[in-house]
Homo-oligomer: A and B are copies of this chain.
Amino acid sequence: MLSKEARDRFVVVLVRARNPSNIGAVARAMHDFGFRHLRVVNEFEVPFEAAKSAVDASAVLEAAQVFGGVAEAVADCSLVIGTTAVGERVLVHPLLPLPDSAAAMIQHLAHDMEGESSRVALLFGSEKTGLSNEELSYCHSLLTIPMEEQADLRHPSMNLGQAVAVCLYELIRQGGIAMPVTLPRGSSPAGAAEVERMVVLLDDVLERAGYKRHHPANSGQDMVRRLVLRMGLAEADVPVWMGMLRQLLWSLTQR
């Protein structure tokens, strides 16, 4: 379970992000998944200031911190993971697919360490060039999002906002916010007795309609039962079906 405290030790670091709307999209994804700490490494403050003034600027964006370099941005982090597109460069780091990297980050965040040193940073490079070798040298390992190998390489890496959303989703999925399957009232599966009542009624309808006489091979009651079971009937739907079948039966006996 990734607690709120654990998520608050997780830091997204955008390095040389150029497009203000991408920075805004990242902040929004963080907000959606309950992460708060955004750090921006930019030589020039222009894109960050533009993002902050956008209409949908969130609390995440307002609280974001600007750093002059990666070293300063990750100084209080004990696990630093960089993101990269596969095949982008010669590997000098371990490269793990997102699910494995997320597991490592969660394990690290779950450690009940003292103070700030238990922070985890996830680095995203600029939209055009990714992370430089110097920037990657601060990383313990690299993360890549499993993608289709593209015949054309026009998009060697994902859109920045989407990449962040996918990474945070994976943290939440593994870590994460418990969320049980919710079924509407009455959609629990029908009991065997109800199913059997429906089988008997359908069988009767098929008999009256002459179906069983014309198709003796595939209209035995066993076959009808398997047919009804395969419907995966919800409890709430049984009265509806029974009403229909009764109406059919009544109609057939009137002829």
Contact = CB atoms under 8 A, between A and B. Distances in A.
A38 to B, nearest CB: 15
B166 A169 contact: yes
A25 interface: yes
Contacts of A181: 94-97, 100
A94 B187 contact: yes
Given A94-B183, A166-B165, A169-B169, A28 B155 contact: yes
A99 interface: yes
A176 interface: yes
A147 B180 CA distance: 13
B182 A94 contact: yes
Contact of A93 (B158, B170, B184): B184
User: Interface size class for chain A?
Assistant: 35 or more
Contacts of A165: 158-159, 162-163, 165-166
A81 B79 CA distance: 38
A48 B151 CA distance: 25
A29 interface: yes
Contact of A155 (B31, B166, B184): B31
Interface in A51-70: 56, 58-59
Interface in A17-55: 25, 28-29, 31-34
Interface string A159-196: 10111011001101100110111111001000000000
A29 B94 contact: no
B172 A31 contact: no
Interface in A98-114: 98-100
A217 interface: no
Most buried by B among A31, A58, A98, A170: A31
A20 to B, nearest CB: 13
Nearest to A92: B184
B177 A148 contact: yes
A146 interface: yes
B177 A147 contact: yes
Nearest to A163: B165
A34 B95 contact: no
A29 B162 CA distance: 8
A175 B72 CA distance: 39
